[in-house]
Amino acid sequence: MESATVIFFGLIATSLLLCIALAVAWRRFGREAHAALWALAYGLSAANWTASLLKIWLLPAGSELTLLSVVCSVGSFALIALGFRRRAGLPLRLDAILAAAGVTVIFAGGGVWDSVNTNAHPWLVALFCSAMLVVSTLSLRAQRHNVRRETGGPAFWMLALFAAYTLGLGVLALVVKPGINNMGYELYRLLFLMGVPTGLFGVGLFAMFLLAADLAEGMRQLAASDPLTGILNRRGFEQAAQPLADECQRRGRPLAVVIADIDRFKTVNDRFGHSVGDAVLQRFVGHMQTVVRGEDLFGRLGGEEFVLLLPETSGDEAATLMEGVRHGVAGAAADLLPQGGITASFGIAVMEGPSGTLRETMKRADKALYCSKMEGRDRVTLSSAADMFATEADKESWAIEARRRAVG
C-alpha cells in the first residue's frame, strides 16, 4: 500500500504540474483555446489519480470513487482530443465526442455496480481513450497549416504508439477477470500503471513542445510580415524568394518578377494624410491578391513599392495578368480619394536559363518599372522593352534612380 501511495502521489503531482504549465502557456502564449483544453485535461487527470488514491486509503471497494475515476479519465482524454482538433483548425465535433463520452460513462458506470460483470468499465474506458488518441493522431496529419503539421511529426508517432498501447490494454481488460491471484489481471494492472501514466506524461510534454513551436513560428511570421498589409515585408520576401528561384532553376522553369509602384503616392499622403495613404496601400494589396496563386510570392519592398514572383510564368503571361490588375487599380480605392482612385505602374522581367539570377532579374524588373514611370505611368513594361531605352551609362544608375523617385 505504501508503494502504491507513493506512485499515486507522484502521478497527482505530475498531472498538476502539467496542468499549471499548460495554463501558464495558455495565458502567456496568446490564450490559444487548445492550450486551455489541455490544461483542463490534466486537471481532470490529477482528479482521476486522486480518486484512485482515496480508494486505497478510505474505500478500497468504493463504487462512487470508481465512477468518479471513470468520469475524470474519459473527460481527460476527450479534452486532449478536442485540443488537438482545435490546434489543427478542424471542426471540434463536440457533439460526437460528448456523445461517445456519455455512452462510455453510462455503460462503464453500470458495470461499476454490476457484481456479475465487475470488469466492465476498464475495457470500455480503455477503448474510449484509445479512440480519442486516434482522433488526436489524425488531427496532426490533417493540419490546415503546413508548418504546424511539420512540427507535429514526433507527436504523431508518440500519440499513435500510445493509442495502440491503450487499445491493447482494452483488449486485455476485456478477456481477463479481476482477482488478486489472477495472473492476467495482475499483468493488466502492471501494464496500466507502467504505460498509461508514462503516455499521459509524454502527451503533456509534446503539448508543451507544440505550443512552444507554434509560438516560435508565429514570431517568425510576425518578423517576416508587413504589419500594415499582412503580406511579406522586405526581410520575409528575401528569405523566401531565393529558395523559390533556386527551385525554378533546378526544374528549368521560368520565373517572372513583377515590381509594382503606386503612382504619385506621396501626393496622396501629403493631401489626404497618412491614414488615407495606409488605407490606399491596403486596398492595393487586396486588389493584387486577387491574382496571387498559392505558389506565388507577394511582398512589400517598402513604401508604395511591391514585388510579386510568378513561378512557371512567361513574360507575356505576366504582362497580360498585370494589365488586368492595372485596369482594376483605380476602382480599388475610388471611394477613398476625391479624384476617383489611383493608378499603378508595373515592371516585369523573367529569369530563364541556368545563368540567370534573382538579383539580376529584379534589377531588370526595376528598370522596366522606371521605364513605365518615364513613359507616363499607369502602364506595364516588360524588361526587354525597357532595355531598348537604356544606354550603357543608364544601366548602372537606373536601379538607384528608380528608388529616388520623389513624385511617386
Say which CATH number the domain at 48 has: 1.20.1070
Q: Are residues 175 and 240 in the same domain?
A: no
Q: Are residues 267 and 218 in the same domain?
A: no
Q: Would you state the pLDDT for residue 394?
A: 53
For the chain, give the mean pLDDT. 85
Q: Is the pLDDT assigned to residue 310 strictly greater than 70?
A: yes
Q: Is the pLDDT assigned to residue 122 strictly greater than 60?
A: yes
The lowest-confidence range among 118-122, 148-152, 257-261 is: 148-152
Q: How many whole angstroms separate alpha carbon 40 and alpha carbon 22?
A: 9
Residue at a domain's end among 198, 224, 250 = 224
Nearest residue to 363 via CA among 320, 315, 300, 307: 307
Task: State pTM to two decimals.
Answer: 0.67
User: Strand pairing partners for 299?
Assistant: 232, 307
Average pLDDT estimate for 130-136:
96
Cα torsion for 369, 374, 376, 379, to the nearest 10°?
-20
The edge-to-edge listing of strands for the beta sheet with 380-382 is: 297-302, 305-311, 255-262, 344-351, 380-382
Nearest residue to 402 via CA among 354, 380, 377, 369: 369
Q: How many whole angstroms separate alpha carbon 36 and alpha carbon 33?
A: 5
Q: Are residues 174 and 86 in the same domain?
A: yes
Q: What is the helix (H) or strand (E) element at residue 260, kind and residue range?
A: strand 255-262
- pLDDT-based confidence at residue 392 (cuts at 50, 70, 90): very low
- pLDDT-based confidence at residue 318 (cuts at 50, 70, 90): very high
Residue 132 placed within a domain? yes
- pLDDT-based confidence at residue 350 (cuts at 50, 70, 90): very high
Encode pLDDT of 143-198 as tens digits.
554 555 555 678 899 999 999 999 999 999 888 876 656 788 788 888 988 899 99
Residues 44, 46, 48, 51, CA torsion sign:
negative
The lowest-confidence range among 41-50, 209-218, 306-315, 316-325 is: 209-218
Place of cell 480519442: 132
Residue 229 placed within a domain? no
Place of cell 499607369: 378
Q: Would you state the pLDDT for residue 402?
A: 46
Q: Are residues 35 and 184 in the same domain?
A: yes
Residue at a domain's end among 201, 224, 247 = 224
Residue 82 placed within a domain? yes
Q: How many whole angstroms separate alpha carbon 228 and alpha carbon 312?
A: 29
Q: Are residues 157 and 278 in the same domain?
A: no
Cell of 325: 490588375
Residue 349 placed within a domain? yes
Q: How many whole angstroms separate alpha carbon 284 and alpha carbon 278?
A: 10
Residue 70 placed within a domain? yes
Residue 42 placed within a domain? yes
- Crossing angle (nearest 10°) for helices 63-87 and 183-224: 30
Nearest residue to 199 via CA among 133, 256, 153, 140: 133
Q: Would you state the pLDDT for residue 148?
A: 56
The number of beta carbons lying within 10 Å of the beta carbon of residue 142 is: 13
What phi-psi label fits residue 114: left (phi over 0), alpha (psi between -120 and 50 degrees) or beta? beta
Q: Are residues 219 and 240 in the same domain?
A: no
Report which DSSP code applies to 222: H
Q: What is the helix (H) or strand (E) element at residue 38, kind and residue range?
A: helix 33-57
Q: Are residues 242 and 220 in the same domain?
A: no
Structural domain including 345 reads 234-402
Q: Are residues 305 and 187 in the same domain?
A: no
Residue 334 placed within a domain? yes
Q: Are residues 41 and 94 in the same domain?
A: yes
Q: Are residues 124 and 40 in the same domain?
A: yes
Q: Are residues 210 and 266 in the same domain?
A: no
As for how many domains the chain has, the answer is 2
Residue at a domain's end among 224, 255, 289 = 224
* Domain of residue 270, CATH code: 3.30.70.270
Residue 407 placed within a domain? no
Q: Which residues contact 222 (CB under 8 A, 6 or more apart)?
A: none
Q: Are residues 353 and 251 in the same domain?
A: yes
